[in-house]
Structure 1
Amino acid sequence: MSVVLTISALRSRAREGAVTAKVRAQVDDLIRKEDRNAKPFWELKLRDGGDALSLKAWNSSPNFAVCEELDRGDSVEVEGEFSIGSYGLDAQRWTLRYLTKDEERQLFEGDSETRAVNEADFASVTRLVESIREPRLSLLCQTFLAEFGPRFRRAAAARNNHHAFRGGLLRHTAQMMISADAICGVYPALNRDLLLAGTLFHDSGKLWEMCPPENGFEVPRELRGELLGHITIGIELVNSLWRKIATEEWKSLQPASEDIRAHLLHLVAAHHGELEYGSPVEPKTPEAIALHYIDNLDARLEMIFTAYKKQPEIAPGVRERVWALNVSPVNALPAWEASGEDTAGA
C-alpha cells in the first residue's frame, strides 16, 4: 500500500530512486497546452503546505479526461511512481481522486509535524510578547495577536525565495523574535521591548499582501497589497491599533507616547535596510539596524537550508544556483560528534 507523503518528502525520497507514493494537494493551476506535434496535453500544477509539483496529462492518457473535469482549488490525491528527471520531480504513471471533506480539512491543517511547528512558533511569539514590560508596546502587541492571530498563523512571508508557504510568516517572525531576544543579551544597550515589538510588526502588512484563504495554499494578489505594499500597510496597521488602544493615562508616561510610536514606525519602515530595496528610509537607530540584519539573516539561512532540500547537486557537495542568494550553495560541514574513543578517558 502506498504511503502518503508531502511533496517535499516525496522529492527528497525520489532523489534516491523511483518511489511509489500518494500525494495530497490542491490544484494550483491547470493549463491546456500543445506539444511540438500540435497534440494537446494538460499541465497540472499541485501545491501543498510546503512545496509544489507539476504533472503532465497527455491526450493518450486516461488522465487527460480527468483533467478536463478539474478546477483550480480542487483538493486531490495523486498516486503514482515518482522520480527525478531532467525537468525535476515527475510521475510517468499516476491516478487521481478527489479528497473527502475530512481529508481536505487535514490537508489545510497540515501534517502532525507542520501543526506542531505552527503551535510552537505561536507559543514562542506569545511568550516573548508577554515578556514586553513597556505597557504601551505590550498592549499593542497583545491586541495584534488577539485580533489577527488566525490570519497571522496562515500568512506566507513571500511568494518566492524565503518562507514562501502557508504559515511562513509566523515561522519567520518567531525565529526573528527569538534571535532578537538573544541579541539583546549580547548588546544590553538595545531597547529590548522596542526591538521585539518592531520584529513582530515588521512584516505585519503581509497579512493583507500574502495571506492564503482559510481553505487554500495559493497566495492571492489583493488590491490593497499590490497598491500599497507590506511596509505601508504595516505602518497603517500600527497607527490604527495605536489610536484604538491609546488612553489618557499614556500622557503621563515616559518616554512620550509619540516618541515610542515614531520609533516603532521607523523599525517597520526601515527594515529592508536600503532605499533601493523598498524601504522609504534607512535604519537610523540601534534597534532598526539590529532588526534589518536579523531579518536578512533569517531569510538567507532559510533559503540555503531550503536549497539543501530542493536544489539538485551539480557537483559533489555543490547545489544548483539559488538566484536570490546569487551563489551555488555548498553542503554544510557536519557538526563534530565525540566517538567512543574520544570520550573513553573523560
Structure 2
Amino acid sequence: MTFFTISALKEQAGEQALAAVIACELQSRSQRQTKAGKPYLVLTFADATGSFNLNAWSDAPLFEAAQGMPDGTVVRLDSEWTQNQYGLNAANISWERLTGEDLEAFYAGDAATAEKQRHDWDTILTLLASVKDPRLSALAKHFIDDLGAKFRRAAAARKNHHARRGGLTEHVAQMMRTADLVCSAYPYLNRDLLLVGVLFHDCGKLWENQYPEKGFAQGYTLHGEMLGHIPLGIELVNKLWRDVAESPVAKGWLPLEPPTETVRLHLLHLIASHHGEYQFGSPTLPRTPEAIALHYIDNLDAKLEMMKDAYSQAGELADGIYEKQFPLPANLVAPLPAFEEPPLIAKPASDDQLF
C-alpha cells in the first residue's frame, strides 16, 4: 500500500479537505481538558519525515481507541485532512494497526529522506577527513567510531527544525558545508576548530533528542531533561578527550602548537556559547571568531529550514503572502525567483539566405 508521508501531507493539505492515507507511529499522548471541562487527548504521531499533533475528542471513537494504544504503535490513518495555522485536522478518520510487509516498509523509512541522510553523512566524513590538527582529528574519529550510529538516529530538535530521525545529521552536514565556505571567505578562521565544533556543538542531543534503534518516536531521557544538550555535550567531549589523550595516538602531542589544553578549551567554548545569548541557554557568550561564526551558521541553518517548512505548510493570506508560522517573526512573502536568461529568438533569414 502507498502512504503519504507526514511532510507530504503537510505540504498538500489546506483549507479544502484532502483524502489521504498515512502510516505513522504513536510517539506520545497527553490528556487535556476543554474549557467546558471535557477531556480530550493530544496525540503525537511521527514518521521518517516529521511529526504532527492530532486532537482526539472525548465523543470521538479515536479517543477510546487511543487510550489502548501503547506508545510506539504504528497505525494507518485514513481521513479527510485539512490544515490551518494550528496544524493538521482529521475528519471521518479510520485506523488500523500495521502488520507484516506494510509495517516493515514503514520502518524502512521514506526513501528520499534516507538517501539525503546517506549523502549528508558522507559529507560529514569527507570534511572531517580534511581536518589537519591531529588532536581534533583523533577526537572526531573516536566520536564517529563509538557513537556514529547513535548520532545518525538523533534529531536536531524536538520541534521547529530538523525534528526527525536523522535530522541532526542533516543539520550538521549543512552547517559543515557552510562553515567550509565561510572559512574560504574569512581565511583567518581556524577551519579545523570550526568544522569539529560544528560536529560537536549539538552532540548532547544524542541523549536529548534520541530515537530507538527501530522506529520514529522521539523519546525522553533523564539526562536530556535534567541537564540539556549543552552541559551533556561539554561532558561528552571531556570524556572523549581523556580517552584519546590516554591512547597511543597522543604520544606526539606534547610539542604541538597551539598547546593541546588550549585546543580543548576552545572547542568546549564553541559548545558552551553556540546559542549566542544567556537567555537562549548558553552558559557563556561567544568570545572568539570561531564561536561567533558557529553561532550564526547554526542559527542560519535552523531559520532557513523553518522557512522552507513554513512555505510548504502555511496558508496563503493573499497572492504571495503566507501566514506567520511559529517561531518565525512575521508573515512570509514568496521569495524572488532566480533570474533566467530569456530564450534566444532566431532572426528571420534574409533574402540572400533564401537561395
Q: TM-score, normalised by structure 2?
A: 0.87
Residues in 1 aligned to 2:35 and 2:139: alpha-carbon distance in whole angstroms: 59
Residues in 1 aligned to 2:171 and 2:117: alpha-carbon distance in whole angstroms: 11
Are the counterparts in 1 of residues 197 and 271 from structure 2 also a CA contact under 8 Å? yes
Residues in 2 aligned to 1:184 and 1:26: alpha-carbon distance in whole angstroms: 41
Q: 3-state SS of the aligned residue for 2:150?
A: helix
Alignment of 1:192 onto 2:217: no
**How has the CA–CA distance of structure 1 residues 191 and 45 changed in structure 2, closer, same or farther, with 3 Å as cutoff?**
closer
Q: 3-state SS of the aligned residue for 1:95?
A: strand
1:141 counterpart residue number? 140
Residues in 1 aligned to 2:38 and 2:284: alpha-carbon distance in whole angstroms: 54
2:292 counterpart residue number? 289
Which segment drifts farther, 244-253 or 78-87? 78-87
1:65-214 paired onto structure 2 within 5 Å: 66-67=65-66, 69-84=68-83, 88-214=87-213
Paired positions, count? 342
Residues in 2 aligned to 1:165 and 1:21: alpha-carbon distance in whole angstroms: 21
Are the counterparts in 2 of residues 44 and 57 from structure 1 also a CA contact under 8 Å? no
Residues in 2 aligned to 1:135 and 1:12: alpha-carbon distance in whole angstroms: 45
**How has the CA–CA distance of structure 1 residues 231 and 344 changed in structure 2, closer, same or farther, with 3 Å as cutoff?**
farther
Residues in 2 aligned to 1:223 and 1:39: alpha-carbon distance in whole angstroms: 32
Shift of 1:340: 2.0
Residues in 2 aligned to 1:122 and 1:163: alpha-carbon distance in whole angstroms: 15
**How has the CA–CA distance of structure 1 residues 58 and 339 changed in structure 2, closer, same or farther, with 3 Å as cutoff?**
farther
**How has the CA–CA distance of structure 1 residues 278 and 145 changed in structure 2, closer, same or farther, with 3 Å as cutoff?**
same
List gaps (5 residues or longer) in structure 2: 348-355
1:50-65 paired onto structure 2 within 5 Å: 50-54=50-54, 56=56, 59=59, 61=61, 63=62
Give the aligned residue type for 2:335. A
Residues in 2 aligned to 1:282 and 1:30: alpha-carbon distance in whole angstroms: 37
Residues in 1 aligned to 2:106 and 2:322: alpha-carbon distance in whole angstroms: 30
Alignment of 1:336 onto 2:339: yes
Which segment drifts farther, 46-55 or 69-78? 46-55
Q: 3-state SS of the aligned residue for 2:286?
A: coil
Shift of 1:116: 0.4
2:275 counterpart residue number? 272
- Structure 1 residues 81-129: Cα deviation after superposition (integer angstroms, max 9, x where no partner): 3334686433322321211254334324421101001101111001001
**How has the CA–CA distance of structure 1 residues 250 and 322 changed in structure 2, closer, same or farther, with 3 Å as cutoff?**
same
Give the aligned residue type for 1:52. F
Alignment of 1:258 onto 2:257: no
**How has the CA–CA distance of structure 1 residues 15 and 187 changed in structure 2, closer, same or farther, with 3 Å as cutoff?**
same
Indicate the structure whose relative CO is greater, using CA pairs within 8 Å and at least 6 residues apart.
2
Are the counterparts in 2 of residues 206 and 230 from structure 1 also a CA contact under 8 Å? yes
Are the counterparts in 1 of residues 152 and 166 from structure 2 also a CA contact under 8 Å? yes
Alignment of 1:248 onto 2:213: no
Give the aligned residue type for 2:94. T
Residues in 2 aligned to 1:288 and 1:116: alpha-carbon distance in whole angstroms: 31
Greater CA radius of gyration, 1 or 2? Answer: 2
Are the counterparts in 1 of residues 80 and 90 from structure 2 also a CA contact under 8 Å? yes
Q: 3-state SS of the aligned residue for 1:159?
A: coil
Q: 3-state SS of the aligned residue for 2:254?
A: helix
Identity of aligned residues (%): 44
Residues in 1 aligned to 2:185 and 2:41: alpha-carbon distance in whole angstroms: 56
2:310 counterpart residue number? 307
Give the aligned residue type for 2:224. G
Give the aligned residue type for 2:185. V
Q: 3-state SS of the aligned residue for 1:327?
A: coil
**How has the CA–CA distance of structure 1 residues 201 and 311 changed in structure 2, closer, same or farther, with 3 Å as cutoff?**
same
Residues in 1 aligned to 2:251 and 2:169: alpha-carbon distance in whole angstroms: 33
**How has the CA–CA distance of structure 1 residues 270 and 19 changed in structure 2, closer, same or farther, with 3 Å as cutoff?**
same
Give the aligned residue type for 1:51. S
Q: Aligned-pair RMSD on alpha carbons? A: 2.6
Q: 3-state SS of the aligned residue for 1:208?
A: helix
Residues in 2 aligned to 1:224 and 1:34: alpha-carbon distance in whole angstroms: 30
Are the counterparts in 1 of residues 27 and 218 from structure 2 also a CA contact under 8 Å? no
**How has the CA–CA distance of structure 1 residues 257 and 25 changed in structure 2, closer, same or farther, with 3 Å as cutoff?**
same
**How has the CA–CA distance of structure 1 residues 53 and 245 changed in structure 2, closer, same or farther, with 3 Å as cutoff?**
same
Residues in 2 aligned to 1:276 and 1:338: alpha-carbon distance in whole angstroms: 47
**How has the CA–CA distance of structure 1 residues 86 and 266 changed in structure 2, closer, same or farther, with 3 Å as cutoff?**
closer
